[in-house]
Amino acid sequence: MKNYQSALIWVFAFLFTAGLAVYQKMTGPTYPARSEIQLESTLVKYKLPRSGDCGQDMPVQISIADTSVHGKFTFKRYKSNDEWTTVPMIREGGELVSMVPMQPEAGKVSYKIDLVKNGQIYPLYNGHEVVLRFKGHVPLIILILHIFAIFGAMLLSTVTCLMAIFKGKNILRYIWLTVIFFFAGGLILGPIVQKFAFDAFWTGWPFGHDLTDNKTFLGLVFWIIALVIQYRKPGNRTWPVIAGIVFLVVFLIPHSALGSEIDYTKQPPAQQGK
């Protein structure tokens, strides 16, 4: 393989990985629910948070200067036997504000917002409830290292797969780098991040159903198989491609899907308004 071909593979892999990073961010359950609604002659754009930090209530703010508009905030703990509680939103200048009551790590709250103008009710997010999950504080350095390692693994996985397809050199070296980055990001730093955020190191198989943990384990298994076969059959190009495709498929599963959460149905219902 010529040098310019190798360079093109790296450039493509970098752009591809960057695109996947954006996809992961926008499809994850912590990405704000964004939309807009028409209130007579006024178009209101809004975003509703789906992630909050433990230790404080999470504000929900709707920017709307029209003081004739007021809002109703309805909420209850997610997966609970609680009754829905509705409170008026508070106007603070050009915003309507309400607070999602604080929960412990992995605690979730469902909430809905209705705007009211001239007696007409305008439900936000098409009337669907939004689920917000609370998380503990993750040290920035741990989070940065985790993200760097995971997306570094995706970059190396893509490069390795393409090198195998286009008959590049040093396949074994690239497989090793992929495995190292993947292991560090997914099985060392990942559980550390999860422990800080949700007070649990591992919630995938066999202890739970967290798809992030399960897909990490599955992706790593295929790369380890590719590594073993590469030693047994030097120059094998089939398994790096298979492992790369599997890694891509599991990577497309939204981050934190079926992740940590408290089952409030096993606890007494919350007091009304709490």
- pTM (predicted TM-score): 0.84
pLDDT of residue 274: 44
Beta-carbon contacts of residue 198 (< 8 Å; ≥ 6 apart): 105, 106, 135, 136, 259, 260
Cβ 116 vs Cβ 124: under 8 Å: no
Dist. CA 179–CA 156, nearest whole Å: 9
CATH of 33-135 given 3.40.718.10, 2.60.40.10, 3.40.140.10, 3.40.190.10: 2.60.40.10
Beta-carbon contacts of residue 129 (< 8 Å; ≥ 6 apart): 110, 111, 112
Q: Quick count: other Cβ atoms within 10 Å of Cβ 25?
A: 11
Domain boundaries for CATH 2.60.40.10 within the chain: 33-135
pLDDT of residue 28: 78
Dist. CA 73–CA 124, nearest whole Å: 11
Q: Which of 82-96, 160-174, 191-205, 220-234 has the lowest mean pLDDT?
A: 191-205
Which pLDDT band holds residue 206 (cuts at 50, 70, 90)? Answer: low
pLDDT of residue 208: 65
Higher per-residue confidence, 48 vs 260: 48
Cβ 160 vs Cβ 178: under 8 Å: yes
